[in-house]
A and B are shown apart, each in its own frame.
Chain A
Amino acid sequence: MFLQFIINGLVVGSAYALIAVGHTMIFGMMKIVNFAHGELYMLGAFFTFTFVSYILQLNYFLALAIAMVLIILFAALTERTMISKLVGKDIMTTTLITIGFSIFLQNIVQAVWGANPRSLPHPFRKEPLEIAGIFITVPRLLIIVISIVVIILLHLLIQKTKLGKAFRATFQNRDSALLAGINVKFIYTLSYSLGSFLAALAGGLLGMIYIIEPTMGALAVGKAFTIVIVAGKRSYLGAIGVGYGLGLIESLGAGYISSEYKDAFAFVILIIVLLLKPEGLFGKLRSQK
């Protein structure tokens, strides 16, 4: 049973890591508390669902790819028209505007697709595979593998390419990056789109094993936000680690302690960390902004 819980934890943790890295990207780069981030997770699932079941009835992977391209375009558009205007505004304004945007998106989806929960059809076998005594279904295995591959690719993009260098420079200090001739506006658009893509990918993947509904983003953004604060606001590796950690803790906690209070573990961890280390596990102490 223990190994089974670990596998489940890794599946959920993969999604948490993807969403939280996206959130860190937007939060760390633009200093925007993005409450609409969970809705991108939801949109990712619904776009994929639409291409699999309604329009074209595509193969799952093709549908996922098209959905992700659309999400990136959509995110870039919202960044240019709205989110970029929020950079530098106070936290209350940005929080409320992104909450308004999330209400907007959530209810648009509800109006178009309807409120009833659905499941995303996928072409894989229902019977689980057996690998070294552990049973795992193909979709779950895929979620773990794809997430890890995407996270590694992202790491390479940020650490090894010239674009990644510009990315890191802007992340560290916006003004010096501007002085060095980096197109900061473009970097912002890119980081918002990339962050949104990561959340949407998590939605498109998890849709295979969980029910999708218009309200699914609310809890996701809460978890992502918690992970980012616990990890220390501006730490990518921290967000990945804490994301997987939270997935494992929730899965084990649901198995051995109580499944009703699964979603409460994140809060308890948040309290403990903020009491002992207010700057987060991997954060450096700086003036609170």
Chain B
Amino acid sequence: MKTKKEYIKIVLYSLAVLFVLFAPFISASRYQQHLFVLAGIYVLLTAGINLLTGYVGLLSLCHAVFFGFGAYTAALLDTRFGIPFFLTLILAGIASGIVSYLFSFIGLRVRGSAFIIMSVSFLHLMHLLTLNLTDITQGQMGIGNITRANLFGYTFTTRASYYYLVLVVCILANFIIYKLVHSRIGRAWVTIRENEDLAKSIGVNVFKYASLAFVLGAFFAGLAGSLYAHYITFISPDLFLFALNTQILVMLIMGGKGTILGPIVGAVVFTFLPEYLRIADRWRMPIFGAILVVGIIFLPNGLVKLDQELKEWKMRRRVRKQKKLERTVNLT
């Protein structure tokens, strides 16, 4: 026997799956299709940062570094050496993974606020390097003329075809994340988040598991970077900006950190929302900031936990009413 609520859930999920599968056909507008591709890239980034920030519980402000590093790796391999797309994709992911692994030796020695400032500084440093190592990165000019993605002789020239490419990578990445989270490794991550001392005492190698989450997140960010570079065909040091990292974090927190579905929901909603705020013109970004503040205060667990949050609100209201009633009864 299934309840009404479960049926609604099934219908909603199947609608969502249909929507994801046929998204490029819903709207013929090139701009809308562009947003669908971007949403896919953001899903990869947000799902990646979720491993360290959502499951291990360390707020990372340097995720944009791995996106940018992946994009630059792919762009350089492509424009200088003409390496085919499927290799640049994998190599970009591996390169970002290696960078994050090296950084984790320094970064993961500290926790809390010290880790946050470490990661911000790392972001600023990499931005400076990208700007100033002009021999390699061409500085502010950026790298252009990156070839479009090409697999088995098929070139992804239309936005709709690229959407499906990104979608496949997203599904694979989320499948891997799902498998890991529901394994020994995922349980170790959550134990570290909830109580690091306890995790240590039961024999969890904190550095090993935390760096695994970090490196895997960076690997996905590297893939996203490569996908982005071959899609836009032009990249600049702006990829290393703090603002991009904030955007990824907003997607994660507003979607729901520490869940599989949260980053996906958050990435999609917050790719489209700022675009619809464009009608507010120059007040767009202030409104975005305000939404972030209010959103975190009222929805600390994200959109995927909206129904629970509503239930709690109702409960609290009922309790308050009850108390008020009791007070009046006592008075009389």
Residues of A within 8 A of B (CB): 27, 33, 82, 85, 91-93, 95-97, 99-108, 110-111, 218-219, 222, 225-226, 229, 233, 260-261, 263-264, 266-267, 270-271, 274-275, 278, 288-289
Contact = CB atoms under 8 A, between A and B. Distances in A.
A111 B121 contact: no
Given A103-B288, A104-B290, A91 B113 contact: yes
Given A91-B112, A103-B289, A107-B285, A274 B59 contact: no
A93 B296 contact: yes
Given A229-B113, A266-B121, A92 B59 contact: yes
B300 A270 contact: no
Contacts of A102: 289
17 contacts: A91-B116, A92-B253, A95-B116, A96-B296, A99-B292, A103-B243, A105-B289, A107-B285, A107-B289, A222-B117, A222-B124, A229-B117, A261-B128, A263-B124, A271-B118, A274-B110, A278-B109
B2 interface: no
Interface string B143-154: 000000000000
Contacts of B243: 103
B116 A104 contact: no
Contact of B109 (A85, A100, A275): A275
Contacts of A111: 282-283, 285-286
Contacts of B306: none
B198 interface: no
Given A233-B113, A267-B122, 18 more contacts: A91-B59, A101-B293, A102-B289, A103-B243, A103-B246, A103-B285, A104-B286, A111-B282, A226-B121, A229-B113, A229-B117, A261-B132, A264-B128, A267-B125, A270-B117, A270-B118, A271-B106, A275-B109
Nearest to A262: B128
In terms of DSSP, what is the predominant structure of the interface of chain A? helix
B286 A107 contact: yes
Interface string B124-139: 1100100110000000
A78 B12 CA distance: 41
B290 A222 contact: no
Contacts of A264: 124-125, 128
Contacts, number: 117
A104 B121 contact: no
Contacts of B249: 96, 99
Contacts of B285: 103, 106-107, 110-111
A289 to B, nearest CB: 6
B286 A270 contact: no
B289 A288 contact: no
Contacts of A275: 106, 109
Contacts of B132: 260-261
B192 to A, nearest CB: 14
B187 interface: no
Given A91-B59, A101-B289, A107-B289, A219 B109 contact: no
- Of B106, B124, B132, which is in contact with the most chain A CB atoms at under 10 Å from its CB? B124
B120 A225 contact: yes
Given A97-B297, A278-B114, A270 B253 contact: no
A100 B53 CA distance: 17
A100 B113 CA distance: 17
Given A96-B249, A111-B282, A229-B114, A104 B59 contact: no
A13 to B, nearest CB: 19
Contacts of B59: 91-92, 95-96
A103 B293 CA distance: 10
